[in-house]
Every structure is written in C-alpha cells, then in structure tokens.
C-alpha cells in the first residue's frame, strides 16, 4: 500500500516549501504533490544510478571501495596532516551537520566557508555596510502591493516563489491576490518572469548601479538623465511614482545584481534605495538565496563564531576577512593543502585557477551523489540526504527555520552528514592526541 506523507519540506531551493505530499511505497518515492519540477526531481533523484552508496578511497590513482571505518580514518589522516585545511560546502545540508563542521574547523585550525562566498557574499558585505530592511515572506503575501524582481528569474530558479509567497496568492490585505499587486521585473533579458510583469525594464548589462541611483534620485524629486542603462527617463519616473504611491513594496534580487559590475557596491545601493523609500512608504528587500539551507549556514556560523562565512580558525579564534579568508582567495593563493567538501560540487563551479589548485590537493568529499568533485576526490563518503532520509533544521531565505522531515530510510550503511562528521572529528582528535 502506498503511504502518503503530508507537510513534507522540500530540501532544494531557498523557498523551502513545507506543504508537499509525498507518496511512498516499499521505501521508494513514487510521487510528490504540490511540488515544482525542481523539487520533484530532488525527491525522485534519491534513487538513481549516480547515488553514492559505498565509501571509496583512491589508491595509486584508482578508486577502491572500503569500509566506513577505513574511509573516515583516511579522511581524518588527510585533514590532520594538512597545514591549512579548507572545509567547504554546507549549504545543502542541515544545521546539526554544520555545527559539527564548526567544531571540526576549530579543532583543525581550518578555513570554514560555504557557497555564500561565491554567491550572495556581496550581499552580506553590503548589509554590513548599510543594514537591510526585510521581513518574512508571509508579510509580503499579506501586505505587498508592489513586487519587484531585479536580476533574478524565479519562474525558473525558485518556481513557487511567485505563486506561494509574493504575487499570486491572496493575502490578508490583498484579498484579490495578483489583481491587488503590481509586478515589476528588471533584467538584462526578457525572462519568463519578465513576461508576467506589469512593467519590464530591460537594463543594459552592468548598468544596475546606475539604474538604482536613478530611482534614488527620482523618488526624491531630482531630475534624472534622459536614458539610464537603456531605460528612458519617463519610465524611471513612472516606476518611481508607483513606488511612492504603494503601501508596501517588496524587492527581490538575485545574482544578476550581486555579480554585476560593482558587486557589493551595487547591493549597497539597492539596500539604500529600500531605506530611502521609508521616507514615503514601507519597503522591504530580500536576496533570492539559492540552496535550501544557505541561510541556515550563515545563521549557525554566525551564532557559533560571530561571523557568517569565510571564517579562519588558524589562530585558534575565529577570524573573518572576506577577500583574504574566503575560499576562492585561499585557493587562488595556493595556500590550502587539503579540503573537506560537504554537500557541494566546487570543481564544477569554481573559477578555473581555483579549481586547478583544488584538483592538486587531497579532497575528502561527503555527498549523496556523484559529482565532478567526488570524481577527483581522494576519499568519498556517501551521505544520507537531509530532508528526505535525515531530519534536521533548515532556514528559508527569509530566515524562517523549518524542521526537515525524514520520510525514507537511507541506503544500508549510509549515514547522515552529522554522524559522518562526528566520526571524522573523533578520529581527528585521536590522531592529534597520538601525535602529542
């Protein structure tokens, strides 16, 4: 008999939808309901040929299948031997695993970093400069009458974002849903999200900073140039007018803004626009976080160490100096001599020079599926999938913590990240004790 499990939380993107129904038969997922395409694939992929089930270590260039004990021991040896280990990944696992990660980094004097470093890192730097006016997604659902997506395409990347949280749903003060709201999209190309918009502003690539500045001028009544980033003055003034007349504005931005031109200075500018709008109305802003628990990584790292990412423990206390202590930088400088990668695939995503160095050092990879990183790793430890085979905490993009559910048993012998890491930590401590 198939079993239907309700209120399942989706461990895929930063939307962290928690209203799924999953149908299970014989410890296999048959179907998920209320889910988007990306989330569905996440669940159904728990049992595909690339799923890792046995630990392996590299011997003379070839992979050899080994016991969990042996793999964990080898991982610990690599990490203890390293002078400057890097512990990276973390955004697609649950918070308890991240906590063990902090402890392991502290024990090893390692650099501890996550995907924020190559993603919304500029957002973090900007809000450390100017702060941020934000809210939970429900506040937007209930109140927002103007929704702006800037440099992001949620219809493809966060498919239920508009329908569950921001634009389409009926809210307490927006009883007619989309009819009560204006949707504005700013992007360099006409995305599927842009096609839905009441107003689409096709900004020239790398002119986001200028366009934001133009809005800051326009809302204060200053004259703006005839064209800014390819957008005519009349359009800018029209949108500025809509902003000032709105009761509650919600701005969302993606990597189209964080990674364009002036990077954190662009974010600084858009956060300042949000703040400036408080002279007239209410305005909130939120980065579109990608991985389902990247926000959770920032939270855990911050409360345990004081810093959100790029934490360097080499001096015994946590030190934070992005640009110096961040992953890409320690790799580009060739400092790192071993890496532990958890639930992430940096080899597939990092800049070439960083990847080159990473491939030249021993890597311990803990992941549920094969990836380019597991292919080049020295030790590969299969992990159970948090949110499907393991419970735990994840933080939605608006910092709302939700308890992930365990709905399936992992493959035999496959452990959760937190248990694998605890065993690595135990072995590291033992090896360090022996060395003394």
Partner 1 sequence: MKPLLIKNGYVYDPLNKINGEKVDIAVKDGKIVEESQINPLEAEVIDASNKVVMPGGIDIHTHIAGYAINAGRLYRPEDGHLLLEPRVSVRRSGSGYSVPSTFVTGYRYARMGYTMLCEPAMPPLLARHTHEELNDIPIVDTVAFTLLGNNWIVAQYLKKGEYEKCAAFVAWMLRATKGYCIKMVNPGGVEAWAWRSNVKDLNDPVPHFGITPAEFIHGLSIVNEMLRLPHSIHLHTNQLGVPGNFEITLGSFELTREVKANPIKGERKQSIHVTHAQFSSYGGDSWKTFESKAGAVAKYVNSNPHVTIDIGQVVPGETTTMTADGPLEYNLHSLNYLKWINHGIEIETGGGLVPFIYSRTSPVNSVQWATGLELALLIENPFQVYLSTDHPNAGPFIRYPKIISWLMSRRARESELQRLHAVTGKRSIIETINREYTLYEIAIVTRAGQAVALGISDIKGHLGVGADADIAVYDLDPNNLTSEGIEKAFSRALYTIKSGEIVVKDGEVVREGRGKRFWVNPKVNETLERTMLRDVRSTFAQYYTVTMANFPVQEAYVPLSSEIKIETTSIS
Under the rule (CB under 8 A), what is the footprint of partner 1?
A: 6-7, 9, 18-19, 95, 99, 103, 106-107, 124, 127-139, 141-143, 164-165, 170-173, 247-248, 275, 278, 281-282, 284, 298-300, 302-308, 313, 315-320, 391, 393, 395, 399-403
CB neighbours of 209 closer than 8 A, spacing ≥ 6?
Answer: 260, 261, 262, 265, 266, 269
Rounded CA-CA distance 94/108 in Å is: 21
Q: What is the DSSP string of 190-231?
A: --HHHHH-SEEEEPPTT-HHHHHHHHHHHHTT----SEETTE
In angstroms, give the least distance from the CB of 300 to partner 1: 8
HSE, CB side, 13 Å, CA atoms: give it for residue 52: 28
The residue among 226 and 434 lying less far from partner 1, judged by its C-beta, is 434
Euclidean distance between CA atoms 19 and 12, whole angstroms: 14
User: Residue 98: exposed, middle, or buried by beta-carbon count in 10 A (0-12, 13-18, 19+)?
Assistant: buried
Q: Which is nearer to partner 1, 237 or 304 (CB)?
A: 304
Q: Minimum distance from CB of 324 to partner 1 (Å)? A: 13
Residue 95 vs 414, nearer CB to partner 1:
95
- Give whichever of 45 and 276 is closer to partner 1, judged by the CB atom: 276
Provide the β-strand partners of residue 1. Answer: none
Would you say 31 or 391 has its CB closer to partner 1? 391
**Which residue, 172 or 333, is less far from partner 1 as judged by CB?**
172
User: Least distance (Å) from partner 1 to the CB of residue 405?
Assistant: 9
Residues 6+ apart with CB under 8 A from 213: 228, 269
Minimal distance in Å, beta carbon 433 to partner 1? 12
Indicate the residue among 129 and 353 with the shorter CB distance to partner 1.
129
Q: Kindly write down the DSSP assignment for every residue of 231-249, as one continuous string.
A: EEHHHHHHHHHHHHH-SEE
Between residues 74 and 120, which has the closer beta carbon with respect to partner 1?
Answer: 120
> Smallest gap, in angstroms, from Cβ of residue 281 to partner 1?
6
For residue 352, give every residue at least 6 positions away whose Cβ sits within 8 Å of its Cβ, in sequence order, or none.
Answer: none
139 C-beta neighbours (distance < 10 Å), count: 18
- Shortest spacing between CB 226 and partner 1, in angstroms: 32
Using alpha carbons, list the distances in angstroms from residue 285 to 123, 139, 424.
11, 12, 40
Query: What minimum distance in Å lies between the beta carbon of 307 and partner 1?
Result: 6
If the CB atoms of residues 207 and 297 are measured against partner 1, the closer one turns out to be 297
Minimum CB separation of residue 70 from partner 1 in Å reads 29
Q: How far is the CB of 180 from partner 1 (least distance, A)?
A: 15
Strand arrangement, sheet containing 3-8: 3-8, 20-25, 28-33
Nearer to partner 1, 28 or 403 (CB): 403
Give the tokens for residue 431: 């090896």
CA atoms of 354 and 342, how far apart (whole Å)? 17
Give the separation between CA 376 and CA 341, rounded to whole angstroms.
12
Q: What is the arrangement of strands in the sheet containing 111-114, beginning at the earlier edge strand? A: 62-65, 56-59, 379-382, 363-367, 338-342, 85-89, 111-114, 311-312, 319-320
Q: DSSP code of 344?
A: -
Query: Considering the complex, what minimum distance in angstroms separates the CB of residue 14 from partner 1?
Result: 13
């Amino acid at each position: 008999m198939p079993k239907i499990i309700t209120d399942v939380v989706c461990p895929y993107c930063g939307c962290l939808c928690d209203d799924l129904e999953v149908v299970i038969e014989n410890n296999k997922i048959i179907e998920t309901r209320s889910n988007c395409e990306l989330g569905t694939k996440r669940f159904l992929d728990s049992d595909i040929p690339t799923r890792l089930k046995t630990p392996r270590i590299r011997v003379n260039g070839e992979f050899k299948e080994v016991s969990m004990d042996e793999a964990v021991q080898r991982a610990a040896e690599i990490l203890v031997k390293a002078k400057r280990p890097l512990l990276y990944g973390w955004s697609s696992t649950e918070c308890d695993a991240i906590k063990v990660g902090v402890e392991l980094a502290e024990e090893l004097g390692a650099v501890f970093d996550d995907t924020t470093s190559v993603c919304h890192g500029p957002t973090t730097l900007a809000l450390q400069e100017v702060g941020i006016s934000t809210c939970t997604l429900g506040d937007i659902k209930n109140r927002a009458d103007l929704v702006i997506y800037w440099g992001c395409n949620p219809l493809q990347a966060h498919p239920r974002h508009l329908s569950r949280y921001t634009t389409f749903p009926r809210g307490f003060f927006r009883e007619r849903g989309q009819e009560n709201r204006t949707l504005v999209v700013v992007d360099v190309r006409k995305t599927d999200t842009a096609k839905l918009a009441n107003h689409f502003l096709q900004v020239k690539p790398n002119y986001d900073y200028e366009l934001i500045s133009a809005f800051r001028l326009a809302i204060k009544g200053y004259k703006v140039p005839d064209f800014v980033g390819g957008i005519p003055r009349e359009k800018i003034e029209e949108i500025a007018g809509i902003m000032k007349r709105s009761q509650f504005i919600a701005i969302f931005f993606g990597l189209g803004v964080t990674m364009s031109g002036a990077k954190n200075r662009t974010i600084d500018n858009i956060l300042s626009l949000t703040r400036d709008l408080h002279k007239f109305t209410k305005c909130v802003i939120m980065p579109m976080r990608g991985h389902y628990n990247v926000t959770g990584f920032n939270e855990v790292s911050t409360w345990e160490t004081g810093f959100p990412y790029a934490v360097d423990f080499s001096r015994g206390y946590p030190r934070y100096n992005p640009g110096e202590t961040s992953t890409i930088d320690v790799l580009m400088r060739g400092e790192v001599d071993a890496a532990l990668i958890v639930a992430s695939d940096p080899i597939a995503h990092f800049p070439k020079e960083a990847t080159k160095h990473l491939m030249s050092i021993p890597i311990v990879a803990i992941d549920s599926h094969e990836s380019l990183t597991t292919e080049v790793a020295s030790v590969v430890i299969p992990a159970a999938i948090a949110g499907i085979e393991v419970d735990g905490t994840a933080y939605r993009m608006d910092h709302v913590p939700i308890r992930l559910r365990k709905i399936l048993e992992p493959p035999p012998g496959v452990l959760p990240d937190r248990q694998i890491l605890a065993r690595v930590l135990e072995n590291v401590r033992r090896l360090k004790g022996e060395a003394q």
